[in-house]
Every structure is written in C-alpha cells, then in structure tokens.
Structure 1
Amino acid sequence: MSEPAKKTPGLGKGLGSGLSKGPSGLGKGLGALLSVVPREDGSAEVLRTIPIGSIKPNPRQPRRQFDENALVALAGSIGERGVLQPVLVRPIPGGGWELIAGERRWRAATAAGLTEIPAVIREDDDAVALEVALIENMAREDLNPVEEARACSALVDELGLTKEEVGRRVGRSRAAVSNLIRLLDLPDTALEMLEDGRLSEGHGRALLMVKRHDVRRDLAAEAYSRGWSVRTTEERARDTESTPAAPRQLHADHEVALTDVADSLTATFGDAVSVKAKGKGCRVRFEFASMAEAATFAAQFSSHRRAA
C-alpha cells in the first residue's frame, strides 16, 4: 500500500487550475494527459501533500541533464514561496510513488529542505505514464536535441506510435521527427557535444552527411575546437565525402524520403519488404519464407492496386 497522503485544500493557480478536467489517455494531448480527471466512481482527483522521501524518480524521464544553477534558483524560490505547481505521481506497488512529471520541482524542493510536496496522484498505466513523461518535456521545449531524439525514439519503439503520430503530439512534422531520431546514429562523443550544447542540432545533421562513424567523430571534435558554424560543418562534411555541395544536400533530403518510403511500405506489407537507396531512387525487395506466403502477399498487393 502507498503511504497515506494528506489532502491539500488549495494551492492557488497551479497545475489543477491551469488545466482542463476531462478524460485522459493516449493521443489526448498534453493538456488532457496532465489534467485532473474524474475517477470511475464519479469523484474528482484531488491535490494531496505527500512525503518527498516516498517519491521515486521516473526511469523513463527523457531529461538526462539538469541545469544546476537553475535548480539552485528554483530551490531558493521554493524555500521562500513553497511549491506553487504540484508534481504528478502514480502509486508504486508495495508503497511509495513514482514521479510522472515535475522532476525539476521535486529536486528543487528536496534541495530546499522540504519534507513534503503537493502532488496530483494518478492511476496511469505504463503507456500513459511514458507518454506524459516524454511529451511534457518536449511540449515545453525543455530538452536538448539528443534528449528529444531519445524521447521520439521511445514513443515509436515502446508505444508503437508512427513518426507522424509522434509529430502531431509534439508539434513537429514527420520529417523533423525522422531527422531527430537519426541523430542517435552519431557516435557517443558527438552525442555528448549535442547534449551539453557544444554543438547544435544543425551540426548533428551535418555530421550525418558523412557515412563513416569514425570520420563523424573526428569531424565533430574539429567542428567544436575550431568553432565551425553549421554551414561550415556541412561544407567540410561534403568535402570529406568528395562530392559536390548540391548533390550532397539532395542526398541528405533523399535519406529522409527513403526512410518515409520504408516506413510506409513496412506498415502496409510487414517485414517481407526491404528498401535500399539506389542512385537517385531506391530498390524495393520482397522476401518470403514460402510460396504460400508469397501468394498471400500477391493477393494483398492486388487488392491495394484495385483500391488505388
């Protein structure tokens, strides 16, 4: 059983008053996901005060880095005025609470010496808790490019969302989501530079124009040490690949388009299809374990053609 929580009569204009009351669930958007909602028995969720020590951090928190100076400033504000916006938690089997949203406030309140903190307690399942943790930070533009990339990747891999669905939730295009996730193909040293701000997201995309992993790593180090702009990094990446500037830019766009084509075909025909780049176009290949599987595919393909 989770430790009993104290009911908080009022907290001013915090999370509860700032968000609408309505049903929650996947695909409802950030406002609905963070709203104070009615329970099945008709009673409304209420704000409660719970012991800070009973809260465990969210293992799915996309943020890996917290600005220490900002935390110190927030801790000072909380020490003077208290926590004006509650955190969002869910019960842990066996006792205690798991933080869903509000880790900065929780950390700052702990640093300020508070022993209790106002919280909205929700019975979210793993999927909803994951979506809230990821989208809350992204919607508030509170993540660095690598954290955003990991968040988008988790929404795709763990929740099974398409890149288009992820884009709708975080206010980005499908191509932008694809570009973000591709950043995770960079070497660890380059990712660290994007995380701590030594290089920008634009630098990361420029590095992806280079095929070899070790060359990407060396180019990232040189871009930082020499203070290259994104444009200069792109030019050096093109020079490294020994291709003219215009074709390399077309190639970068081509890779995003190729990813979209592969995603669309896989969603329609499953794992039987593979797509690879070939010149300015692509090569689509189908493989089947048996003739029966091939016949099933042929019938499915014919039905798609008739529908088109």
Structure 2
Amino acid sequence: KARGLLQPLVVRPLPGGSYELIAGERRLRAAKLAGLERLPSIVRETKEGERLELALIENMAREDLNPIDEARACATLVDDLGVTKEELGRRVGRSRVAISNAVRLLDLPDEVQAMLQAGELSSGHGRALLLCKDHTERRKLAREARDRDWSVRETERHAKEAQGKAKEPRGSRQVVIHPDLADLLATAEDALSQALGREVKVTSTGGRCKVEFQLEDAREAVELAARIGGREHSRAA
C-alpha cells in the first residue's frame, strides 16, 4: 500500500462512461485489499482480438501458471491471433526458442499434459519425454518419472533409450560405450543443449562423434548461425 500500484491497469471505454478491465485483474484485487480507491490506468480502444491478446499475454506473466496453460496461451497467440514468436518473446521477456519449446509440450499425450498441469512433472520433464516419439511409450515413461521421482536428466536418458530401441532394427549389433565416454557424451549434450537452447544428441561411432539437433525452419537456422557467428567475432576481437 505504501508504494501504491506499480503497474497501471489497462481498460477500454464502454458506452455510458464506464470502463471494462482488459489487463490487471490480479493487481485490481490486490489494490482493493489494500484499500486503494484511485488506480492508475491506461485507457485503450481495442478490438475483440486485441483484447484477447492482451489478456493472454498478461496471463503468461503469472508465476503460478502451469506449463500446459502457458503452452496453450502461446499457441493461441501464434496460431489464432497471428502474433509472431519473436514479438511474443519480446513482450513476455523470453526467447523465440523458449516460446517454441513451450508450444511443443502440446504434442504430448493428454495424460502427460494433465501431469504437467497438476505439477506432478515439470516442463523440463515434458521436453525430455518429447525425445521419445511413441505416444504409448511417452505415457509409460511419464508415469515412471512421476512415481519414481526421476530428475529431468534421468527422464531424458530413459526417453533416449526408449527411442533408440524403437529405431534399432532387428538383429542389429548393440554398441557398447565405455562408461567414461558415456559421461563425456552426456556432459557434451548438456553443454550444447544449454548453449543452443534446444535438445542436442551427441553419439560416438567408430571414433567419430555426431551432434544432432532439430530446427523448426530455415529462419531459425539463420538466427542460430548469426548467434554463433557473433560469438566467434567477439572472441576474435
């Protein structure tokens, strides 16, 4: 109460001199509890689509928003309202990759999405499960991750193993990787995943290493190349 309302409400005018709240419902409730009678507000003429857009973007800023509701809000803004991922990222303080990763959680089976909504699994667990392409296996792994309290790293490992078994042709020879090399590959995967902002797979065959990751489109490839090029340029300078 001593500091007042830090961020103004957003309202739109209605016939008869009244106003409709567009953004700031939680701030309005908090102000009422604090006994504030006058609230700074931004009056904005908005169409229905713009009103929904503002409400969804504000909703994404909630700290208690679960990963699936956040993903649905992102998908609605991008697919239905035409907001680009770059613009959405700027408005909510996230990268384009983070927005893409959030939306990808909607590819999970409904049962797994429900676990993320209930807080039984984190968004990191959800992204790890996406490494396995089979929906039945995803559900099975999600239950095990929840019941056995797997970390995100453990979930990633099991998802990769399940996906590897699904791809392995019958009668193929199993490649045994030395534990020390396996740790090195896992460390490399973690470092590259963090640097590139996406899941990265590092494998070793015949003394050679292969790094694999997926990009959504050519534009994302250009953006990633520019980021890497910028880092190299700054090092050279």
**CA 234–262 in structure 1, closer or farther in 2 if over 3 Å, else same:** same
Please say if 1:218 is aligned against 2:169. no
Aligned residue number for residue 129 of structure 1 = 51
Greater Cα offset, 143-152 or 91-100: 91-100
The superposition leaves residues 145-167 of structure 1 with CA deviations (integer Å, 9 ceiling, x where unpaired) of 11221122122112212222221
**CA 98–236 in structure 1, closer or farther in 2 if over 3 Å, else same:** farther
The superposition leaves residues 40-67 of structure 1 with CA deviations (integer Å, 9 ceiling, x where unpaired) of xxxxxxxxxxxxxxxxxxxxxxxxxxxx
**CA 165–102 in structure 1, closer or farther in 2 if over 3 Å, else same:** closer
Secondary structure of the 1:100 match is strand
Q: What TM-score results when the alignment is normalised by the length of structure 1?
A: 0.48
Q: Structure 1: give runs of 5+ residues left out of the alignment.
A: 1-10, 20-33, 35-86, 266-308
Amino acid at match of 1:179: N
User: How far off is 1:128 after superposition?
Assistant: 2.9
- Over aligned residues, Cα RMSD in angstroms? 3.9
Within a 5 Å distance, the mapping from 1:232-247 to structure 2 comes to 232-242=154-164
Amino acid at match of 2:213: H
Aligned residue number for residue 176 of structure 1 = 98
State how far apart, in whole Å, the 2-side matches of 1:214 and 1:193 are: 15
- For the 8 Å contact 1:90–1:98, the answer to whether it is kept is yes
Greater Cα offset, 98-107 or 236-245: 98-107
Aligned residue number for residue 217 of structure 2 = 260
Q: Structure 2: give runs of 5+ residues left out of the alignment.
A: 166-174, 176-181, 190-198, 203-210, 223-237
How many residues are treated as equivalent by the alignment?
182
State how far apart, in whole Å, the 1-side matches of 2:132 and 2:158 are: 10
The superposition leaves residues 191-247 of structure 1 with CA deviations (integer Å, 9 ceiling, x where unpaired) of 111112110011000110111112212211121111111111111101111269869
Secondary structure of the 1:198 match is coil
**CA 98–171 in structure 1, closer or farther in 2 if over 3 Å, else same:** same
Within a 5 Å distance, the mapping from 1:27-42 to structure 2 comes to none
Amino acid at match of 1:172: R
Q: Which has the larger radius of gyration?
A: 1
State how far apart, in whole Å, the 2-side matches of 1:223 and 1:95 are: 55
Instruction: Indicate the structure whose relative CO is greater, using CA pairs within 8 Å and at least 6 residues apart.
Output: 1
Within a 5 Å distance, the mapping from 1:159-308 to structure 2 comes to 159-242=81-164, 249-250=200-201, 254-255=213-214, 257=215, 259-261=216-218
Within a 5 Å distance, the mapping from 1:60-209 to structure 2 comes to 88-90=10-12, 99-104=21-26, 120=41, 122-209=44-131
Q: What TM-score results when the alignment is normalised by the length of structure 2?
A: 0.61
**CA 119–90 in structure 1, closer or farther in 2 if over 3 Å, else same:** farther
State how far apart, in whole Å, the 1-side matches of 2:19 and 2:139 are: 41
State how far apart, in whole Å, the 1-side matches of 2:18 and 2:141 are: 47
Secondary structure of the 2:213 match is helix
**CA 158–227 in structure 1, closer or farther in 2 if over 3 Å, else same:** same
The superposition leaves residues 169-206 of structure 1 with CA deviations (integer Å, 9 ceiling, x where unpaired) of 21111111111110111111111111121100110001
Amino acid at match of 2:48: D
User: How far off is 1:141 after superposition?
Assistant: 3.7
Amino acid at match of 2:56: L
